[in-house]
Structure 1
Amino acid sequence: MLKLNIKNETSRLRKVVLGTAISNGPIPKLDDCYDPKSIEHIKAGTYPTELDMIAEMNALESVFKKYQVDVLKPKVIQDCNQIFSRDIAFVIEDIMIEANILPHREEEVHAIDYIWNQVSPDKRMILPKECHVEGGDVMPWNDYIFVGTYSGSDYANFITARTNIDAVIALQELFPNKIVKSFELRKSNTNPRENALHLDCCFNPLGKGKAIIHKNGFLVEKEYDWLVNHFGKDNIFEINKDEMYAMNSNVFSISEEVVISEKNFTRLNAWLRQQGFTVEEVPYHEIGKQEGLFRCSTLPLYRD
């Protein structure tokens, strides 16, 4: 049986599912896109190539190997974008929860069936049908579970709204000993600078009590203020709209001290080093064109 243990975002990583860019398929049609940033790059003729994305994911994998992290991968589906493994499932404590994902993406979930089937049946959870949830919106943080959501009456109009309030309630019922804290996110189908696709697109907790945040990603200022107060203003790196667009908050912690970040994030990486972090810089700009980065393409299974 596969042992699972995820209590937070920063404890020492031992096992992770890393997505794959192999057989990523042709450039999608505009109608088949799930986010405004991909649409922007398709229109501009700058959508990333499979070869570039494979190279970037290989660079990420080599950092995991450097830190002796056991890397698992989804089974390759022909002509299918399987980069963002965070969308398809997530682990809290020792329970694996299958995401109720956009309907066209169910194939991606089945690509990790071989991992799912290694988890003890009483530790596998599929939420009820009415619960929409993706892993990018769910952050275990010790006594808390932070969840990005959108509860507007126009929820159904936003392909960018991925986690609903039913899922927030279901998570609270599943983990009664934790405080499930939800955050209303700003959504846009058309403007990537006004769209927080998931919570990790505008916020990410780091080791040493630090965090990255983008104020405009939050619809309710009080909820943003709560996070700032929780971490402390001096511990927070505030990113601007362009940095959010470039996915500066979507870094990934291997441990309390080690952060994987994009090599072009010069302002952020300088700050991280000032705070005493080891920054592993990886080229990931091409994958970022699909509104996802390091946290999106990783599904942690075990942290010490």
Structure 2
Amino acid sequence: MLTKPVIKLNVQNETSRLRSVVLGTAESNGPIPKIEECYDPKSIEHIKAGTYPEEDAMVEEINAVLKVFKKYDVKVYRPQVIENCNQIFSRDIAFVIDDIMIEANILPHREEEVHAIDYIWNQIAEDKRIILPEDCHVEGGDVMPWNDYIFMGTYTGKDYSDLITARTNIQAVNAIQELFPKKKVKCFELRKSNTNPRENALHLDCCFNPLGKGKAIIHKNGFLVESEYEWLVNFFGKENIFEITKDEMYEMYSNVFSISEDVIISERNFTRLNNWLWQQGFTVEEVPYAEIGKQEGLLRCTTLPLFRD
């Protein structure tokens, strides 16, 4: 009797050597959305300006990342292409902590995207698949496994339901803590805006990213509570932190992606950051990703790690 192949999962942190990943796709991305269909203020800004990214350009950018993954012998899975559907941001639809995959409860009209990776989900052992209760809203950009910790972005303001940019609620934070009782879930209140992309941290990885060698990228204004920002600075050490400006956060400087402790994929125009990374001893794989960045997501947002050594 043939047994179904089982995809192994293991993600303890953001920087251990990557072996397998889901990379989003820009194929059949659909027409330029109407403003009322947008999920974030940066996309709206580009629609109004007539500079919303074209499918060909985004396909080319994602292919540049695919090339880097091949160079480092990473097994790459892709979502099944759904016609006229934006499937670029695979980080939103699910995430892995330890050897468990958790399906994200994302915005209701994005459920199709989740089903595009059903073929992966079905190859994971049943006891390693979790669907959170319906009242738990969470997206993978807000969830960062970091060894003994799980860092999570959230928003608990009374206007949560009015903010399309508020993606992860406190119910999800509590549910993750219950699922992983041996880990410390540390949550951070993020600044949200439906209208101003420079005042909006869509996810935690839009204003913070831990790197290898004990380093991290951070943007202070992305955090609503100063003491929570300071906790991170103290945790990593001020000398190990690369502080980014409001404009750099807008360009998505914190949303790079680690292949290993010392190899990072970054946008080629992030000159100030990339120079600093080289100085810290990292290998920086520079790719064009500015068109994808127009939708308020970048390299971490388009990748869903399944296995890290």
Relative to the length of structure 2, the TM-score reads 0.98
- 2: CA distance, partners of 1:216 / 1:105: 29
SS in 1 for 2:277: helix
1:275 equivalent in structure 2 = 280
Look up the SS of the partner of 1:280 in the other structure. Answer: strand
SS at match of 1:227: helix
Match of 1:236 among 232, 236, 241: 241
Q: Which runs of 4+ in 1 moved over 6 A?
A: none
Structure 1 regions of 5+ residues with no counterpart?
A: none
Aligned counterpart, 1:257: 262
1:134-154 per-position Cα deviation (integer Å, ceiling 9, x unaligned):
000000000000000000011
Residues 162-213 of structure 1: CA distance to partner in whole angstroms, max 9, x if unpaired?
Answer: 0000000000000000000000000000000000000000000000000000
1:220 alignment partner, one of 219, 225, 231: 225
Matched, 1:196 2:201: yes
**Alignment match of 2:137 (pick from 132, 136, 160):** 132
Query: What is the distance in 2 between the residues matched to 1:220 and 1:12?
Result: 33
1:179-190 paired onto structure 2 within 5 Å: 179-190=184-195
Equivalent positions of 1:94-113 (< 5 A) are 94-113=99-118
Partner SS for 1:146: strand
Pairing partner for 1:123 from 108, 120, 128: 128
Percent identity of equivalent pairs: 80
Corresponding position: 1:48 with 2:62: no
In structure 2, how many angstroms separate the alpha carbons of the residues matched to 1:192 and 1:60?
25
Shift of 1:159: 0.0
Distance of 2:239 and 2:265 partners within structure 1: 22
Across the aligned residues of Structure 1 and Structure 2, the Cα RMSD in angstroms comes to 0.2
SS, match of residue 237 in structure 1? strand
CA distance in 2, matches of 1:30, 1:155: 20
Tell me which residue corresponds to 2:3.
Answer: none
CA distances 1:51-97 after superposition (whole Å, capped 9, x unpaired): 00000000010000000000000000000000000000000000000
Secondary structure of the residue that 2:66 maps to in structure 1?
Answer: helix
1:196-244 CA-to-partner distances (Å, cap 9, x unmatched) read 0000000000000000000000000000000000000000000000000
Partners in 1 of 2:254 and 2:265 — Cα distance? 11
- Measure the CA separation in 1 of the matches of 2:104 and 2:260: 25
Q: 2:44 aligns with which of 39, 47, 54?
A: 39
2:182 counterpart of 1:177: yes
Q: What secondary structure, in the 3-state scheme, does the structure 2 residue paired with 1:147 have?
A: strand
Code of the residue aligned with 1:186 in structure 2: it is R
SS at match of 1:225: helix
Which secondary structure does the structure 2 equivalent of 1:48 belong to? coil
CA distance in 2, matches of 1:204, 1:241: 15
SS in 1 for 2:212: coil
1:14 to 9, 19, 23: 19
Work out the number of aligned pairs and report it: 304
Separation in 1 of the partners of 2:199 and 2:141?
Answer: 17
Letter in 2 for 1:27: I
**CA distance, structure 1, for counterparts of residue 156 and residue 44 of structure 2:** 25
Matched, 1:84 2:92: no
What 5-or-longer segments of structure 2 have no aligned partner? 1-5
* Structure 1 counterpart of 2:213, one-letter code: K
